Amino acid sequence: MEATQNDENALSQPQPQPQPQPQPQPISQPQTLSKNAQKKLLKQQRYEAKKAEKKAQEKRQKKEDAERKRKEWEETLASVTEEERAKLIESRRSLRKERMEKRSEEKEKKMERLNKAMQCGHKIVVDLDFAHLMTPSEIQSLVQQIMYCYAVNGRCINPCHLWLTGCEGEMGSQLKRLPGFDNWIIEKENRPYIEALQEQKENLVYLTADAETVLEELDPKKIYIVGGLVDRNRWKGITMKKAKEQGIQMAKLPIGNYLKMSSSQVLTVNQVIEILLKFIETKDWKVSFFQVIPQRKRPEADPEGCQEVAGEENEGKDDQLDGKKKCIEVPSQRKRPEADPEGCQEVEGEENEGKDDQLDRKKKCIEVPSHG
């Protein structure tokens, strides 16, 4: 009887469940890139290698030039008397001191203008939220355009209050690599403009070539937004779509009222901002367009009194066959301008720059009979 009861108790106890055997894990195969992705990766690697080689070559050239100048200076000092040597050394010190004082004075005036613009200048925002749509080389191109914008703005008599919004991720990393970027007198926001300027949403105006409203004047109360996107015609209408979804105003520059574009009316970021700066200075859209928009995008002749100013890095490659002119290659005697003290490249934009424009392109134009 006890045996039977013990058997029943044993049966009533929970029996241990058999442990499942571990299943063999499938061997993970390395993810293979598509042919298109492989081409992009190879192109980027070539670009980086070429860039590194160019940088190394410039460094070597700079070192060689410095060594050559040092030897020439030593040879000059060795070939003159003690009295003449002392005069040469003193003259060189005076010139260097004068140059540094002038540079310091110009930098101080520039900082005063930019600080004043932060308080009462026209507000212009560069929207940098499109980095995920661009390749690394396109991001680098946009960063160069922003550097150009800052340099031009700093030299303007009436600079604008410039904002960069969406300065994060790869875009932020590339911007921080710019020499002197941390010292730029400019608004830098990691947040999108719609968050950073939420309290002024009713004053936001997105400048897009697809808008129906034409911009006639610049309202000091408005905040004008420029899309920071190297388009390459892949993302047509994206800025207008974004502005509609956010419920903010849109407008386009009145380009069609003053000239006929030979291609699309999509301009680079630096061109748009420079046009706005020119309009702030001249209050004349026609002059602003003809001084900034490159010749290849406006094939007709310049109006009287308007000089052409190149606005893109590769503007020297523009077609010069405008009307009754024929271009031939000639050696250029013009030196490239030195870099800005804060790391911003010098950008041509002065009143008489059009006179030197043909030398920059290393071309000379001569009149030939028209067959048109």
Q: Which amino acid is at 339?
A: A
Q: Which residues pair with 252 in a beta bridge?
A: 214
Distances (CA, A) of 326 to 53, 110, 310, 358: 36, 41, 19, 12
DSSP string, 19-40: PPPPPPPPPPPPPPPPHHHHHH
What is the spatial distance between Cα 330 and Cα 316, in angstroms, rounded to a whole number? Answer: 13
SS3 assignment, position 126? strand
**What string of H, E and C letters represents the secondary structure of the chain?**
CHHHHHHHHHHHCCCCCCCCCCCCCCCCCCCCCCHHHHHHHHHHHHHHHHHHHHHHHHHHHHHHHHHHHHHHHHHHHHCCCHHHHHHHHHHHHHHHHHHHHHHHHHHHHHHHHHHHHHHHCCEEEEECCCHHHCCHHHHHHHHHHHHHHHHHHHHCCCCCEEEEECCCHHHHHHHHCCCCHHHCCCEEECCCHHHHCHHHHHHEEEECCCCCCECCCCCCCCEEEEECCCCCCCCCCHHHHHHHHHCCEEEECCHHHCCCCCCCCCCCHHHHHHHHHHHHHHCCHHHHHHHHCCHHHCCCCCCCCCCCCCCCCCHHHCCCCCCCEEEEECCCCCCCCCECCCCCECCCCCCCHHHHHHHHCCEEEEECCCCC
- Catalytic residue ranges: 231
